[in-house]
């Protein structure tokens, strides 16, 4: 079964392809030569995910899914949240985003945070949503070379390494995206019986 993934983020495409390998053929926007920018102007992760899947569905009239993911930090009133990718004002400038988070947390002892992913699936012209959350803390100094986004400063509860210090295989077992993808897979398996 073919599913289009509505993202230009090749790191996300890789994570999803590894997680869904076997049963589903994941087609990226790059595979489709679709270079149009997909707006992310909504005020929640769920609304952004739904908007993106509908945007791509209108172009290809095919089964499609998208996700929106955010880092929510308790002491910052759940910022950066829906603005995670462009928190510093520059879209996808990971270094500046991390620096801004760490500067805002300077002197704050409450480091509780959570990664949240919402997947929006349009399947047979119906929309379904799946959510994954991982709780953790923000550390003072980035660690690790793997992962992307805020992974170098996020340590999940019951772990002693950042998401950037563990392999993609390890991350795909425990991450917020993995939790949401597992819900997506369970749903699709029920539909395909």
Enzyme catalytic residues: 68
In whole angstroms, give the CA distance from residue 79 to residue 185: 29
* DSSP per residue, the chain: -EEEE----HHHHHHHHHHHTTT-EEEETTTTT--PPPP---SSHHHHHHHHHHHHHHHH-S-EEEEEEEEEEGGGTTEEGGGGGGTTSSTT-HHHHHHHHHHHTTT----EEEEEEEEEEEETTEEEEEEEEEEEEE-SS---SSS-TTGGGEEETT-SSBGGGS-HHHHHHHSHHHHHHHHHHHHHHHHT-
Backbone angles phi, psi at 58, to 5 degrees: -60, -30
Displacement of CA 41 from its chain's centroid (Å): 16
């Amino acid at each position: 079964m073919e599913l289009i993934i509505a993202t230009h983020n090749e790191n996300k495409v890789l994570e999803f392809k590894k997680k869904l390998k076997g049963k589903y053929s994941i087609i990226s926007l790059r595979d489709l030569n679709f270079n149009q920018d997909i707006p992310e102007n909504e005020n929640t992760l769920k609304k952004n995910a739904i908007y993106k899947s509908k945007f791509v569905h209108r172009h290809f009239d095919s089964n499609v899914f998208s996700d929106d993911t955010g880092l929510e930090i308790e002491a910052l009133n759940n910022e950066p949240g829906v603005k995670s990718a462009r928190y510093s004002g520059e879209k996808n400038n990971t270094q500046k985003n991390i620096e801004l988070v760490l500067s805002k947390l300077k002197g704050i002892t409450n480091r509780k945070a959570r990664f949240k992913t919402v997947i929006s699936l349009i399947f047979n012209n119906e929309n379904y949503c799946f959510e994954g959350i991982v709780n953790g803390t923000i550390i003072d100094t980035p660690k690790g070379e793997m992962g992307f986004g805020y992974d170098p400063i996020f340590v999940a509860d019951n772990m002693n390494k950042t998401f950037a210090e563990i392999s993609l295989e390890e991350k795909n077992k425990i991450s917020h995206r993995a939790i949401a993808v597992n819900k997506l897979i369970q749903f699709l398996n029920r539909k395909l019986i």
